């Protein structure tokens, strides 16, 4: 199942700088791990914002939730999720 996500990051400004650095490093490592596993095939930064647009490829909404809640920045994310379905005019859908 494919899901389109917009994730906006809001780390508190008064968070300890060392903790902030650690969170960001762990988030990057987890995102790379999920990309290598094929679960996070698309990741784009939204220019000018601390936000991204992503496509995740998972088995179920439950797996999506487990993955999202495993992200170190999860407590600081506003996430909008849209399930995706194949479009009948997509080249891959043609006989």
Q: How many domains does the chain have?
A: 1
Contact 32, 43 (CB under 8 A): no
Q: Say if 62 falls within a structural domain.
A: yes
Q: Say if 14 falls within a structural domain.
A: yes
Average pLDDT of the segment spanning 37-53: 98
pLDDT of 26 > 90? The answer is yes
Phi-psi label, residue 75: left if phi above 0, alpha if psi -120 to 50, beta otherwise: alpha
Q: Say if 90 falls within a structural domain.
A: no
Range of the domain at 36: 2-85
Average pLDDT of the segment spanning 25-48: 98
Q: Say if 75 falls within a structural domain.
A: yes
The pLDDT assigned to 90 comes to 87
Q: Provide the CATH number for the domain around residue 73.
A: 3.30.70.1060
Tell me the two tokens of residue 31: 């995102």
Rounded Cα distance, 86 and 57, in Å: 13
**This prediction's pTM:** 0.90
Q: Say if 95 falls within a structural domain.
A: no
Paired residues of 80 in beta bridges:
6
DSSP 8-class letter at 15:
S
Rounded Cα distance, 80 and 65, in Å: 12
Q: Say if 92 falls within a structural domain.
A: no
């Amino acid at each position: 199942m494919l899901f389109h996500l917009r994730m906006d990051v809001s780390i508190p400004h008064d968070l300890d700088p060392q903790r902030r650095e650690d969170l960001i490093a762990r988030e990057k490592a987890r995102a790379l791990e999920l990309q290598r596993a094929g679960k996070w095939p698309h990741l784009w930064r939204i220019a000018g914002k601390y936000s991204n647009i992503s496509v995740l490829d998972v088995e179920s909404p439950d797996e999506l939730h487990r993955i999202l809640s495993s992200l170190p920045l999860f407590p600081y994310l506003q996430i909008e999720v849209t399930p995706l379905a194949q479009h009948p005019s997509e080249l891959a859908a043609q006989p």
